[in-house]
Every structure is written in C-alpha cells, then in structure tokens.
Amino acid sequence: MASISEIPTVTPAPAPTDKRAGGIHAWRLSWGLLVAAGLMAIVAAPVAAVFAFVLQPTNGLWAHLVDTLLLDYIGNTALLGIGVGASTIVIGTGCAWLLVMYEFPGRRWLDWAMVLPLAMPAYVLAYAYTDFLQFTGPVQGLLRDLTGWGWQDYWFAPIHSLGGAIFVLSMALYPYVYVLARSAFIEQSVCALEVSRTLGCSATGAFFRVALPLARPAIAAGAGFVVMESLADFGAVKYFEVQTFTTGIYRAWFAQGNPAAASQLASLLLLAVFAVLLLERRSRGHRRYAHTSARYRELHPTRLRGWRAGLATLVCALPLACGFLIPAVVLFDMALNSSEPLVLSRLLHLIGNTVQIGILASVVTVAAALLAIYAVKRDGRRLTRGLVSLSLLGYATPGVVIAVGIVITIGWLDAAIAGAAHSLLGVPTGLLLAGTIVAILYGCLVRFFAVAYGPAEAGLGRIKRNIEDAARTLGTSPRGVLARIHLPLMRGSVLSALLLVFVEVLKELPATMILRPFNFDTLAIEAFQLATTERLDGAATPALIIVAVGLLPVILLCRTIRRSRPGRTG
Amino acid sequence: MGSVALTLKGIDHAYGSTVTLRDVSLEVRTEEILCLLGPSGCGKTTILRLAAGLEIPKRGTVHVADRLVTGDGVFVPPERRDVGLLFQDFALFPHLTIAGNIAFGLKKLPEREQAARVGEMLELTHLTGRGESYPHMLSGGEQQRVALARALAPRPNVLLLDEPFSGLDTQLRQLVRDETLHVLKEVGTAVVLVTHDPEEALFMADRIALMQSGRIVQVGEPSDLYFRPAEAFAAEFFGEVNRISSRVSGAAVASPFGPLPAAGLPDGTPVTCLIRSEALKLRTVPPNGTTAPHAVVEAARLLGRSSLIHLHTHPSTGHTLHLHARAMGVSLLQPGTEVWIEVDPRLVFVFPTKEA
C-alpha cells in the first residue's frame, strides 16, 4: 500500500504513456469507452440531478432563506473551511518538519502515531469532547475543585460552537496534511538544504526558503483535501448545531420538505467545493518539482537537547493526544460507566446492518473500480481516461449532496419503471428502489469510487507489460493472463481497496442516514441519534466500534510510514 | 544448417504515425544464432515483438517453421506460436517460485513430465536446488538464467532474446554471455538476439543483421560485416575508423600515405575513405622508397590489451588530419616521434559520399 493511499486523490494517476499502446492490446471495439461512459453516467447522475433541480420553484423558501439563514450558512461554512485548512496546515506541516529534521524523545513512535486520528471520525470526536468538556465533565470539575468556583462563576469556552467544530475537524483531519508534508520533506535531498545553508540561510531560513516551497505542492494537496472534507462534514456540525450548508440542505429537505431549496443550497456548496478543487490544482499546477540533485543522501536528524527537546515532544504529542488519546479514553470511560448501555441484541443488530452495508458497498465499489481500470487499460484514449477521472470527482462531493441527488435520481427511475410497468403490464408497482438498500449502495459507489480506484490502480500499475507479454509467449491466453498473473498479483491491492471502502462506509453518516430504508440503523446512525437526543453515554459503544475497525487501515498506514525512511529498513 | 525456423517477409510497421520498420525481410534457421544489431530505436525490438505476435505489422508476413502466423488475414496469437521470448528486464513472475516460473509454459504437459522438464532446465542453467526460491531472492545473473530456462522450457521453435545481458553489470555480463552461448548451442534451437553492442554480436552471432532506422543495412556472417561493410554506417558501427574525404582519380583515392584503391568508381566521384584504426601499422624507420614521414605521434595511451596512438599528419603530406591508430600491447612511441604508416588494404573502405 502506498504511504498515502489513505488519501484518495481526485487527480487521476498519469496515463500509462506506453508508446507501444496499441499492438495486439489495441481494443478494436471500444467497450472500454462504453464502460467508462456508463460509469460516468451512473456517478454523475446524482450531481446532475441536483443541478437540474435548481430551476424548480421553491415556493418562497429560497427568498426566506436569503433573508434569514443563507448568510449564516455562507459565513459559517467559509470560516469552517478556512479555519480547519489553516490549522491543519500549521499542525501537519510543523509536526512533519520537526519529526523529519530533528531527533527528540518520543520521535520514533510519534513519527507513525501522528496518523492515528485518521481512525476518529469528526463526529466521534465531537461526542467525546462534549462529554469531556461539559459542566459535569472532568475538565470543568477539576477547574472548580482547583478554584472553588461554582455554577456560573466563570466563563468556559462552549464546545458546541463554530470554534468547537473547527477544533474537532482539525484534530480529525490534520494527519492528511502531515502524511503528505512528511513524505515531501523526506523526499527532498538533504543536499538542497545543505546548499542553502552554505549560501547563508539559517536553519529556519532554510525551512522557509527551500524546504517549504519544495513541499508546497504536497501541502496544498493535503490542505485542499482537508478543506473539501470540512465543507462536506455533516455529523460534527449538525451535532454542534452550527448552521452550515450541509445542515442547511438537510433541514430544507427533511424539516421543510423542499427539494428545490435543498438542491439550490447543494448546488452552491458544490460550486464552492469545485472551486477549492480548482484552486488546489492550480496551486499545485505542474509544479511537481523534480529532484534538484541526482545525489541522494539520507537525512540525519539534528538532535535537540534540553527544553527544546521537551518542547518538540510536547508540540507533536499535543495533536495526537487531542485527536486520538483523550477522546479514546473518554469514550472508553463513557462506555464502561454508561447509565443506560445498549443491550447486546441491539448492538449485534446494528453491527449486522453495518457489516451488511459495508460488505455489499465495498464489493460493488471495488468491482466498479476494477471495471474502470481495465477499461482504461484496454482503451487508453484521452476520452476514456477523462471520463474515468471525472467519475473520481464523486469523492469531492459532500455526502449530503450525493444523498439528495440520489433521492431525486431514484425517484425518477422509480417513476419511469412504474410508468412502464403500468402501461405494459397494467399493474401498479409502486416505488421499487426508493428507501431500499440499493439507494445506500448507490450513494457509497458515488462517494467512494475514488477510494477503491486508487489502490486497485496502483496494484495494476505494478504489473508490467512485459510480465503479461511473457505469459502470452509462454502459451497463456488473455483470459489465462487474468487468472494466472493479474488475479494473484492484484489480490493484495484489491483486499486493501475493499478494506478502505469498508471502513469509509462504516464511518459514513449523512448519505446513509438520508438514504436508508425505514428503521434501518447502522452503528454511525445509532450513535448520532443517541448523541443528538442527549443520551451521549449510549453513543460511546457504537462509536468505539467504528474507531476500532477504522484503526485497521490506519495501522497498515503506520507500518508503511515506519518503513518509509530512505536508507532504513525494518 | 537446419531448416528454416522463422521467416519475416516485407514487413512494414508503425506505432501511430512513427514508422518503425520499412520492408524488413529476414530468415533464421534452426541451430543458428542471428543477432539483430543496431543503435537504440532502430526497430530491433519491434522485430522480436512481431515474431512473438505481440505486435501486428501494417504489411508483410511472418512464418514460424513453415506455418504462416501473421499476414494474409492470418494472426496467430502469441500463446499459440511456439516462440519463446526473453525480456530485457527478465519479467519473472514475482508471485511464483523459480520452478513455478519455469513450469509456467508447460501447463499442457502431464505433471510428471512438467517436473522432469523443470529439473532438466534447472540443471541446464546451473540452478539445481534453487527451484523453491522466489525471483527476488536471486542475483541478477541467476534471474537471467531463470528467464532463459523459462523461455526454453516449452522447447520453442524460435527463441527471441531482447538485450538479454543489458541488465547485468560489466563483470557479470561476460560470464553470463558465455554461459548463455553454451546453453543455446547445447539446445540447438533457432535464436534471434537483439543487441546494440557490436562486440556482443560478434561474440554471440552465427550471422548478424545490422539495422539502421527501421531497415536492414546488411546481413551476413560476422567477418562479412567486419571486412566487407555494405555502407559507411556498417563500417563505423564495428569500431573506430579514420575518415578521409576525397575524390576518385584514376580508380584510386589520394591519402597521406599514398593512393588507396577505389575500384569501380568513376573519376571525380566525391568519396569517403574509412580506415579502421587497427589498419594503420606504424613504423619508425622508412620502408623502401619512402622519404618523408607520414605522421607525428601526439600521444600514446594504453587501453589494456591494446594501445591507442593519437597522430597528426606530417606537413609534407599536404594533409592536415588527426588520426587514431591501434596497436596490440603497450606502445613505446613518444610524443613527437615521426612515423611511417603502412595500411592494411582489407580494412580500408571507400564509399561514395552521400549528399547531405
């Protein structure tokens, strides 16, 4: 698994530029293009549906929104994006620089442990910190014990606020910037840094004038992803009652029953997301800096001593503690001392539902990704590749928007099927797809297509053309090559793609919640419902299960990171 | 020589709009090693891929043994051609053991025969005992031998080798080359070997086909190409030459060391004389009938088994040329020494100068 395969990029991998494209591998009848176009249609349909609904009349709700909440949505969403983006850049880049360039107590394990918060969905952090920081919680309790203050004697920053949302999202998302910045710093040859020192830069100067500009494309990619994720967040902001676009869409659709207004909000949010995407692309541009020197020397971290060493350890340990250790302990405590714990049968029922959705969605999504990868491989034309890379954009689309789009799309489909059945067979069919598990699977396919595509494509990329040709000259048919070469060599990548999608589906909240069949609860939905109905203790157990399963791919990532220092093995 | 194992006739091939092969025809017989020699990008590898069925030509036919496999509306896929291909990067299957790699092409044989053939191949390539290892556990030389064993195991009609030694370092290359030659001769299959190294071609080949930008310049035994190059390109490809531009006069060409024969070229034709550096024999005493020295030594460098002597022509010759001469062993010539030059006429080639 590549060290950043955790982060599905929306930039498709560079096309396999094989000048020998063609030959006997040329696909006469381009089913590759057909598959790509089909996938694109499936993935794009919900987004297109959202935009198509924009012109529907809103019965005055839109005007009402403009007068009342729209400014709040815009302001809060923008502040959330900027706040989370800025703080993750500082935390992720700063910690990566310290851990790459300096030696201090705890560096060995901090190096990989920094990514552990990836297992914590932001809404789980939100539950944990609500418990941790509430009036009866340990922090305020300790404060009162120390000072002797009582109720209303003091001001305490409320976690249920925009600031609180920025805090939990930053803690959940900084590892994306950290991982990319870290590998960018490691990849830089130390020679470039040493040259800058001999040219009169101080150590700090070298960081700002050489290392940071060189790592900028990677940092921009990480931050762009983080901002898109914060714009897409639903669970944490909804729980904290912060009015953003995602909560606004949810409210317009379900509380006010106004699909047109929901679509209009969703379109605006989508435009913002794509603007961030474009901005990130532009800031990265083609500036993938080549190595400036051919010689590659291992970085020798400078040893820090005394208070500097202590400070470095503290700086790096703080985000890890806030993003993983403290919430994990709090959740455990909540689960163990819960006044009304979930009964086992209910828990097993939830796990059953979640696993069912997870397995089905990951199989469907990975199968679609494999289909797309082979379509591109067979038909390497620009058009085919373009269509597939458009399908990858589903990952940038917020879950709430996808859900709204799918409700509309499936509504159309049901109407079409019912109409056809009525005119052909004369029987009313009612709604076939709406409110079924198919809707959830569709949503997961759109949202997590890129998650499956990345590792699977990397796996196929490792199978060199010559290996396939060798198999052919040794008497194996194309189908035989698939069975005897691709299948065994792709197994690892396909498994990790399945695992990644499974975990994403497990953590996914808004789309599942909107699209699920009536009374179909998953772990994430149950936790959310318990938390929003003031039964936070009950939310702890399902949240902990989500985190525990989410740790699996994170542990794999940690192992990759531990091995990823040049010139070091094991 | 045995029967014909591989025939290519009138092959034209292009990758998109880039023409790679123009009207190429070749024939390889069993028990023969044919080297396709040429600079990179001349289309050598494409010929192998066409023969293996990994590429489709625009025009022309390919026969393996007497069977038409490409052309005239026929295309036999690679897996049904009985052609073995050894790749430059060896392309071993990383998920299979050495034995598994070698047995890969033997699926049609009964298990017992497969095992016997694998054992035979391991022994042939001196890999006995390594059958259960995985490719990444082997050295480069061993990997090359596995690739060879794997390609030979199904007993192909023709074995195609694509730069099979270029992945190895210089020391190892000599050794592996020698081993491979012995294995190939022992098996006696028809072999087409692609290389850009003339020394390697001379070492391995029964016949050499020299290629330049998509066409075959000359086919022949190594000595044909060395002593009777068909074009200036062929003469230059097999080693360093001294170049003299001149015009034909009386079926001869004037040179600093007397007239050189230019039979069959009309007077006044602009020509290029190519003289191999090993054709210049240097003498410090004048041969009979010569008075003025031909050249002056600038420097002598020992290159191992031979020495390279840098010379410039003596003013009295009326030429101003820089010349390289090659002599066996250590040269004792000091800079400034005046020398007389005797030319080996077998290593002098005169070609009409091509219009630029």
The Cα B61–Cα B7 span in angstroms is 8
Residue A364 Cα distances to A360, A438, B332, angstroms: 6, 11, 80
Contacts of A470 in chain B (CB under 8 A): 85, 87, 91, 93, 150
Cα torsion through A513, A516, A517, A522, rounded to 10: -70
Six-digit token pair at A172? 């959940």
Pick from A19, A24, A474: CB nearest B154:
A474
In this complex, do B154 and A24 lie within 8 Å of one another by their Cβ atoms? no
pLDDT at A166 over 90: yes
Six-digit token pair at B140? 């480069």
| Better pLDDT: B343 or A199 | B343
The Cα B89–Cα A88 span in angstroms is 44
Best A464, A473, A482, A484 residue to mutate vs chain B (most B CBs within 10 Å) = A473
| Pick from A62-76, A119-133, B300-314, B319-333: least confident | A62-76
Assess contact for A43 and A447: CB atoms under 8 A: no
For the segment(s) B240-352, the CATH number from 2.40.50.140, 3.90.79.10, 3.40.50.10330, 3.40.50.1370 is 2.40.50.140
Q: Where are the alpha helices (DSSP H) in B205-328?
A: 222-227, 232-237
Instruction: Determine the pLDDT at residue A9.
Output: 43
Find the helix packing angle between A70-101 and A212-232, rounded to 10°: 140
| Pick from A41-55, A203-217, B86-100, B197-211: least confident | A203-217
Assess contact for A116 and A554: CB atoms under 8 A: yes
Instruction: Determine the pLDDT at residue A496.
Output: 85
Please tell me the number of Cα atoms within 13 Å of A447 on its side-chain side. Answer: 33
Phi, psi for residue B215 in degrees, rounded to 5:
-135, 160
Residues 6 or more apart in contact with residue A198 via CB below 8 angstroms: none
Q: In this prediction, what percent of chain B has a pLDDT beyond 70?
A: 99
Instruction: Determine the pLDDT at residue A328.
Output: 94
The Cα B310–Cα B322 span in angstroms is 7
pLDDT at A497 over 60: yes
In this complex, do A466 and B89 lie within 8 Å of one another by their Cβ atoms? yes
Pairing assessment for the beta strands B33-37 and B190-195 based on DSSP bridges: parallel
Contacts of B18 in chain A (CB under 8 A): 19
C-alpha B320 chain-centroid distance: 34
pLDDT at A149 over 90: no
Asked if B134 is an interface residue toward chain A (Cβ–Cβ < 8 A), one would say no
How many CB pairs (< 8 A) connect A and B? Answer: 82
In this complex, do B53 and A24 lie within 8 Å of one another by their Cβ atoms? yes
Q: Where are the alpha helices (DSSP H) in B104-231?
A: 111-124, 140-152, 170-187, 198-204, 222-227
Q: What is the pLDDT of residues A265-324, one digit of tens each?
A: 888 898 888 888 888 877 765 555 544 444 455 567 788 888 999 999 999 999 999 999
- Interface of chain A toward chain B, CB-CB under 8 angstroms: 19-20, 22-24, 464, 466-467, 469-478, 480, 484-485, 488-489
Range A449-466 average pLDDT: 86
Six-digit token pair at B171? 């020391």
pLDDT at A394 over 90: no
Six-digit token pair at B207? 């016949």
Range B275-281 average pLDDT: 91
All domains of chain A in start order, with CATH: 23-290+306-562 (1.10.3720.10)
Range B252-275 average pLDDT: 85
Q: Write down how long chain A is.
A: 570
Give ∠ CA A270-A387-A472 in degrees, rounded to 5. Answer: 145
Question: What residues are paired with B299 via a beta bridge?
Answer: B310
| Pick from A84-98, A192-206, A428-442: least confident | A192-206
DSSP-assigned letters across all residues of A423-435: HHH------SSTT
Best B20, B93, B192 residue to mutate vs chain A (most A CBs within 10 Å) = B93
Mean pLDDT of chain A, nearest integer: 83
Please tell me the number of Cα atoms within 13 Å of B301 on its side-chain side. Answer: 7
The Cα A232–Cα A92 span in angstroms is 20
Range B226-243 average pLDDT: 91
pLDDT at A8 over 90: no
Nearest alpha-carbon partner for B352 in B275, B267, B259, B265: B265
A433: buried, middle or exposed (CB in 10 Å: 19+, 13-18, 0-12)? Answer: middle
The Cα B22–Cα B8 span in angstroms is 12
The Cα B277–Cα B38 span in angstroms is 21
| Pick from A111-120, A398-407, B27-36, B314-323: least confident | B314-323
In this complex, do A464 and B91 lie within 8 Å of one another by their Cβ atoms? yes
Best A28, A462, A474 residue to mutate vs chain B (most B CBs within 10 Å) = A474
Q: What is the pLDDT of residues A219-270, one digit of tens each?
A: 888 898 899 999 999 999 999 999 999 999 998 888 888 888 888 888 889 8
Provide the greatest CA pair distance for chain A: 85
The Cα B322–Cα B299 span in angstroms is 12
Residues 6 or more apart in contact with residue A68 via CB below 8 angstroms: none
pLDDT-derived band of residue B290, with 50, 70 and 90 as boundaries?
low
DSSP B248: B
The Cα A463–Cα B95 span in angstroms is 11
Pairing assessment for the beta strands B306-313 and B260-261 based on DSSP bridges: unpaired
C-alpha B87 chain-centroid distance: 17
B308: buried, middle or exposed (CB in 10 Å: 19+, 13-18, 0-12)? Answer: middle
pLDDT-derived band of residue B356, with 50, 70 and 90 as boundaries?
low
Helix (H, G, I), strand (E, B) or coil at A110: helix
| Better pLDDT: A152 or B68 | B68
pLDDT-derived band of residue B29, with 50, 70 and 90 as boundaries?
very high
Mean pLDDT of chain B, nearest integer: 89
pLDDT-derived band of residue A154, with 50, 70 and 90 as boundaries?
confident
pLDDT at B264 over 70: yes
Asked if B159 is an interface residue toward chain A (Cβ–Cβ < 8 A), one would say no
A27: buried, middle or exposed (CB in 10 Å: 19+, 13-18, 0-12)? Answer: middle
Q: In this prediction, what percent of chain A has a pLDDT beyond 70?
A: 88
Residue B278 CB coordination number (10 Å): 17
Range A498-508 average pLDDT: 90
Helix (H, G, I), strand (E, B) or coil at A84: helix
In this complex, do B93 and A480 lie within 8 Å of one another by their Cβ atoms? no
| Pick from A119-128, A309-318, A455-464, A555-564: least confident | A555-564
CA distance B103 to chain A (A): 10
Nearest alpha-carbon partner for B290 in B266, B318, B322, B258: B258
pLDDT at B112 over 90: yes
Range B250-272 average pLDDT: 84
Asked if B289 is an interface residue toward chain A (Cβ–Cβ < 8 A), one would say no
The Cα B214–Cα B14 span in angstroms is 10
Instruction: Determine the pLDDT at residue A56.
Output: 75
Question: What residues are paired with A95 via a beta bridge?
Answer: none
Contacts of B76 in chain A (CB under 8 A): none
ipTM: 0.79
The Cα B57–Cα B47 span in angstroms is 10
DSSP A299: -
Instruction: Determine the pLDDT at residue A260.
Output: 83
Sheet holding B348-352, edge to edge: B241-247, B270-276, B348-352
Range A397-422 average pLDDT: 87
Instruction: Determine the pLDDT at residue A21.
Output: 44
pLDDT-derived band of residue A28, with 50, 70 and 90 as boundaries?
very low
Cα torsion through A370, A371, A376, A379, rounded to 10: 140
Six-digit token pair at B49? 């891929």
Domains B4-234 and B240-352 share a fold: no
CA distance B216 to chain A (A): 21
Contacts of A19 in chain B (CB under 8 A): 15, 18
Q: For B17, name the nearest residue in chain A, comparing CA atoms only.
A: A19
pLDDT at A162 over 90: yes
The Cα A502–Cα A548 span in angstroms is 13
The Cα B48–Cα A448 span in angstroms is 43
Provide the greatest CA pair distance for chain B: 80
pLDDT-derived band of residue A90, with 50, 70 and 90 as boundaries?
very high
Q: If you average pLDDT over each of A184-188, A208-212, B178-182, which comes out highest?
A: B178-182
In this complex, do A469 and B107 lie within 8 Å of one another by their Cβ atoms? no
Helices H / strands E in chain B, number of each: 8, 21
Contacts of A473 in chain B (CB under 8 A): 52-54, 78-79, 81, 83-85, 105, 151
pLDDT-derived band of residue A565, with 50, 70 and 90 as boundaries?
low
Amino acid at A106: G
Q: For A472, name the nearest residue in chain B, comparing CA atoms only.
A: B79
Q: For A18, name the nearest residue in chain B, comparing CA atoms only.
A: B15
The Cα B48–Cα B64 span in angstroms is 12
CA distance B261 to chain A (A): 47
Range A519-533 average pLDDT: 90
Instruction: Determine the pLDDT at residue B274.
Output: 92
Range A402-421 average pLDDT: 87
Pairing assessment for the beta strands A102-103 and A302-303 based on DSSP bridges: parallel
Question: What residues are paired with B246 via a beta bridge?
Answer: B271
pLDDT at A18 over 70: no
Residues 6 or more apart in contact with residue A108 via CB below 8 angstroms: none
Pick from A24, A478, A488: CB nearest B55:
A24
Instruction: Determine the pLDDT at residue A15.
Output: 41
The Cα A137–Cα A134 span in angstroms is 5
C-alpha A244 chain-centroid distance: 19
Q: For B89, name the nearest residue in chain A, comparing CA atoms only.
A: A466
Asked if B15 is an interface residue toward chain A (Cβ–Cβ < 8 A), one would say yes
CATH H-level superfamily of B4-234: P-loop containing nucleotide triphosphate hydrolases (3.40.50.300)
Plot region of A101 (φ>0 → left; ψ -120 to 50 → alpha; else → beta): alpha
Q: If you average pLDDT over each of A54-58, A65-69, A162-166, which comes out highest?
A: A162-166
Question: What residues are paired with B19 via a beta bridge?
Answer: B14
**Any idea where the domains of chain B sit in the sequence?**
4-234, 240-352
